[in-house]
Structure 1
Amino acid sequence: MTGSQDLALYVHWPFCVSKCPYCDFNSHVRATIDQAAWRDALLADLAHEAALLPGRRLTSVFFGGGTPSLMPPATVAAVLDAAVAAWPPAEGLEVTLEANPSSVEAARFADLARVGVNRVSLGLQSLDDAALRFLGRAHGAHEGLEALDVAQTAFPRVSFDLIYALPGQPIEAWNTELARALSFGTEHLSLYQLTIEPGTRFATEAAAGRLVIPDGDSAADLFEVTRGATAAAGLQAYETSNHARPDAESRHNLTYWRYRDYAGIGPGAHGRRGRLATVRRKKPENWLDAVTRNGHGIEREDRLDPRSRAVEALLMGLRLTEGVDLDRIASLANGDAPIDFRAVALLERQGLLIREGPRLRTTEVGALLLDGILEAVVRPDAVAA
């Protein structure tokens, strides 16, 4: 089976114990959840996608959220069983589940591993109690590290997240925290700079002047420290914020960044079926009602014209250290790559981009300025196409 027939599956579980002040994900707090109804609805939503995507090979499944570690293991098992029944799994199928590092959720790790989860992404976010309180996290640093220890025992593959560039965070403090994080021997780290997202409580605080994150120069210094420390520890950056040992990259996320097909089920989930972009209803109750009425939770299916697909592939692919294949970008655009090659040449002379045959990628310095590079290299007429 060719790579073009490969498919990833994203499953969104929208519920959390509490809403973090920096989070703009589709997450919701509910006093009660009808677990049987949710399991049945996820299976119906999956069956709808399976009927539209026959003959594919399943390469990865990702349970995201929200907090999918709050899902009953029986629900996870039912979704996985349905997925591999619908699509033959690739050898070494990657099954990732995002988890909060609380003792309650860590107690489920062994059961989740037994039903087929083989990779966990743990939302530690910080190793410092004061920072965790600032970030609105429900766990403390000690509880988080205990959960990491349980995860590394239960699952063959483990990743965890940290957030840096916090208000007033000295570079020395982040260097120390990062060194400690790297000492745990985890194969994959996702290291994100704090950003102020519209609609979050932090956005309200920032607008009122009560919250100020590091300026561009300070953030760049922290980024360089991060790249240097992870590379020295053998976890090379393979994407803007993601670092892994060789062959430990997130195969599922690489599907997004390499612009391959994926099915998305659950509230607010996005998907790509060839030239169609799918979007599920966002509010949990609306999604559940839609599945009951229609057999799926789809709100929109948008047909993507060739240039739109090429622009998406370019914007996603330049996040990767490996960069993008310009021939593929041109092919997606029916031969007319939506790239301003004069801007590319200028950025090459400035040491921000490297073009090697058909591949285009950012340099280490260019990775610091990715947003500006993306804006520069896309032809203006391509955005409106």
Structure 2
Amino acid sequence: MARALYIHWPFCLKKCPYCDFNSHVREGVDMAQWQGALLADMRHEAEIAAGEPLHSIFFGGGTPSLMPPTLVGALLEEAEQLWGFDPAIEITLEGNPSSVEASNFAALAAAGVNRISLGVQSLEDDTLHFLGRLHGVDEALRAVATAQENFDRVSIDLIYARPGQTGEQWAGELARALSLGTDHLSLYQLTIEPNTRFATDVRLNKFSPLEDDPAADLYALTQEMTTAKGLPAYEISNHARTGQQSRHNLTYWRYQDYCGIGPGAHGRRQGVATERHKKPENFLASVEASGHGIKTERRLGTSEQASEALLVGLRLAEGVDLAALATRFGIDRAALVDAERLALHRELGLVRQDGERIALTSAGMPLLDALLGEIVGDGLVSA
């Protein structure tokens, strides 16, 4: 049964040039209509995957901090009635660090949100302009301080490995971020995603992405600085103090069941992959016609589930337990990984193994995608 719930709010004030998430700009949003649609979509999931209390809820987007606190509260109240809440439930909401949205933090906390993830993205004003952000550094710092006053747990996002960025520049910016005292940092290298404005800009030679070797040096610097400050990486891009890891995201990476509602939301429950309609208007029409926003619903074979579990699990510093995966999915242990290539990469210092548990080393993490193609068993990849 699902123990985590993801709620997607698709609206933003502006589409960022690097963003390939399901986000949309609309002049007006009928909040009453959206409350009814999201509640209906939630009830549909609960009919299928209720049974255990929820241990995490995550409001993602889009920009969920644009949601009225009353709407957030109504969704949380319904979720608690449908599933029940674990006493230590983590309820996260993504937000922008603007003064307008920060003014809602107290009301969001009163509605039940106890963790916030702020898209600061940079602590340099010229970089924020390049990234298409609507806030400035001073505004972001004030929002972080307001968040720390209102929420038990605060995380901030930063984007690095930007065009022309040097180690000295990133070291200064990261040191400033670490000094803010948040218990969690999500640190992402700038990736040029297809069908974004940045992809067009690169194609038109408006700027060039940072090359791989300098980016790798910045990754190594990031690991060194965060570890020294007590926020080591527990996932390739996520860093936290002991006990402050995102419980919701660990649900994904440990391949546990979760329900996803709202436009474009994905879910994995009882061996079934779900995806909602992405376009807000199509989502609303589907809920009106069918009582839910599901676009596709597909049963996953055991080999495919095992492959997915292995692929996401190796993103974690803790890695994966091969014997446990084999038992869970009824797969031959030998089919999970290519033993020869695993041994090779272990000898090269890119993979470590402790009994049945394997994990990428700090040297292997930057090579994650390439190593996954090498290590995962051929039978699973083709499943």
TM superposition score normalised by structure 2: 0.98
Partner of 1:351: 349
Partner of 2:205: 209
* Distance across 1 between alignment mates of 2:382 and 2:4: 29
Residue 331 of structure 1, CA deviation: 2.7
- Equivalence map 1:365-380=2 (5 Å): 365-380=363-378
Partner of 1:266: 262
SS in 2 for 1:167: coil
Structure 1 portions without partners, runs of 5+: none
Q: Which amino acid aligns with 1:219?
A: A
Residue 55 of structure 1, CA deviation: 1.2
Asked if residue 81 in structure 1 is aligned to residue 77 in structure 2, the reply is yes
Asked if residue 251 in structure 1 is aligned to residue 272 in structure 2, the reply is no
Partner of 1:382: 380
Alpha-carbon deviations, 1:127-185, whole Å to 9, x = none?
00000000000001111111111101011100000000000011100000000000011
* Distance across 2 between alignment mates of 1:339 and 1:299: 33
Q: Which of 115, 138, 142 is the aligned partner of 1:146? A: 142
Q: Which amino acid aligns with 2:259?
A: A
CA contact (8 A) 2:2 2:49 kept: no
Coordinate RMSD, CA, aligned: 0.9
CA contact (8 A) 1:306 1:332 kept: no
- Equivalence map 1:39-54=2 (5 Å): 39-54=35-50
* Distance across 1 between alignment mates of 2:100 and 2:314: 39
- Equivalence map 1:115-264=2 (5 Å): 115-264=111-260
SS in 2 for 1:264: strand
* Distance across 2 between alignment mates of 1:36 and 1:50: 21
Q: Which amino acid aligns with 1:9?
A: L
Q: How many residues align?
A: 381
Q: Which amino acid aligns with 1:24?
A: D
Residue 380 of structure 1, CA deviation: 2.8
Partner of 1:342: 340
Partner of 1:107: 103
SS in 1 for 2:256: coil
Q: Which amino acid aligns with 1:65?
A: G
**Segment of structure 1 superposing worse, 222-231 or 375-384:** 375-384
Partner of 1:290: 286
Q: Which of 358, 361, 364 is the aligned partner of 1:363? A: 361
Percent of residue pairs bearing the same amino acid type: 57
SS in 2 for 1:364: coil
CA contact (8 A) 1:309 1:332 kept: no
Q: Which amino acid aligns with 1:225?
A: L
Residue 332 of structure 1, CA deviation: 4.2
Q: Which of 9, 12, 16 is the aligned partner of 1:13? A: 9
Asked if residue 35 in structure 1 is aligned to residue 31 in structure 2, the reply is yes
Q: List structure 1 runs of 4+ shifted beyond 3 angstroms.
A: none
* Distance across 1 between alignment mates of 2:52 and 2:297: 20
CA contact (8 A) 2:2 2:269 kept: no
Residue 209 of structure 1, CA deviation: 2.2
Partner of 1:319: 315
* Distance across 1 between alignment mates of 2:84 and 2:146: 31
**Segment of structure 1 superposing worse, 327-336 or 185-194:** 327-336
Q: Which amino acid aligns with 2:186?
A: S
Q: Which amino acid aligns with 1:342?
A: E
* Distance across 2 between alignment mates of 1:54 and 1:368: 38
TM superposition score normalised by structure 1: 0.97
* Distance across 2 between alignment mates of 1:366 and 1:287: 40
Residue 213 of structure 1, CA deviation: 1.5
* Distance across 2 between alignment mates of 1:174 and 1:381: 42
Q: Which amino acid aligns with 1:344?
A: L
* Distance across 1 between alignment mates of 2:171 and 2:181: 17
